[in-house]
């Protein structure tokens, strides 16, 4: 839960910052950023995880070479391994947030923002009292969707930590269920974890559907 929450917060922060950046740059930089983000979004989780593992490889990794840290194993420590997996999860997920919020920002009528400026509203006041209420339906959907995605992360953790890290220090529920059900043949515990995750995601999905209905009504 903590890992998923951290990924959701980071994804929203990076996606929101990128969306604002898209509104501030010119046409060609905007196209470059969009294509780069879509490339990250379209990359399969297995492929992306393998590429990032190669970048942080102990002996051949570009990161160790640039930082002058030959032989450093980024996946040996529990927290650095979780951090790297979190970076990959965010890398795969932030384009959805970026594009959704960018579309929402672009849909805000210019006349509304100009009226706020004429009334003497600062940038923060305009964002808080004008833009945020308009973007709230999109933000709600994006947040709940990110929670669903990040809570059921499996591929990145399994591939990058070799099935859960040293002595299971990087286990999440999905990987734990897989290990119990298929590696240890403890199908009852694996099934129980699966049912628990399903119930949690059903609750989140109910909020998601409710948010979709509200968004449709407001639009």
Most distant CA atoms of the chain, gap in Å: 68
pLDDT digits (tens, 9 = 90+) for 92-119: 999 999 999 999 888 888 888 888 888 8
Position 195 in a domain: no
Residue 217 scores a pLDDT above 70? no
pLDDT digits (tens, 9 = 90+) for 68-99: 888 889 988 899 999 999 999 999 999 999 99
Position 99 in a domain: yes
CATH no. for residue 71? Answer: 1.10.3720.10
Position 177 in a domain: no
Position 47 in a domain: yes
Position 148 in a domain: yes
- Tally of domains within the chain: 1
pTM (2 decimals)? 0.85
Domain that holds residue 118: 2-156
3-state secondary structure of 78: helix
Position 124 in a domain: yes
Position 214 in a domain: no
Q: How many helices (H) and strands (E) does the chain have?
A: 11, 0
User: Is the Cα dihedral 108, 114, 120, 123 positive or negative?
Assistant: positive
């Amino acid at each position: 839960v903590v890992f998923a929450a951290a990924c959701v917060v980071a994804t929203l922060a990076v996606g929101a910052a990128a969306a604002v950046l898209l509104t501030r740059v010119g046409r060609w930089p905007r196209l470059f950023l969009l294509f780069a983000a879509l490339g990250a979004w379209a990359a399969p989780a297995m492929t992306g995880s393998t590429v990032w593992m190669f970048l942080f490889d102990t002996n051949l990794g570009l990161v160790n070479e640039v930082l002058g840290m030959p032989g450093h194993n980024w996946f040996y420590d529990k927290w650095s391994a979780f951090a790297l997996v979190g970076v990959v999860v965010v890398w795969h997920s932030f384009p959805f947030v970026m594009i959704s919020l960018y579309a929402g920002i672009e849909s805000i009528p210019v006349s509304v923002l100009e009226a706020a400026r004429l009334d003497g509203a600062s940038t923060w006041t305009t964002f808080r009292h004008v833009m945020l209420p308009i973007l709230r339906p999109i933000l709600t959907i994006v947040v709940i969707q990110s929670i669903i995605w990040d809570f059921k992360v499996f591929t990145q953790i399994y591939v990058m930590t070799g099935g859960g890290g040293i002595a299971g220090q990087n286990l999440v529920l999905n990987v734990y269920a897989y290990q119990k059900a298929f590696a240890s043949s403890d199908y009852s515990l694996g099934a129980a974890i699966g049912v628990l995750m399903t119930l949690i995601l059903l609750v989140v999905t109910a909020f998601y559907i409710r948010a979709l209905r509200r968004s449709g009504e407001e639009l």
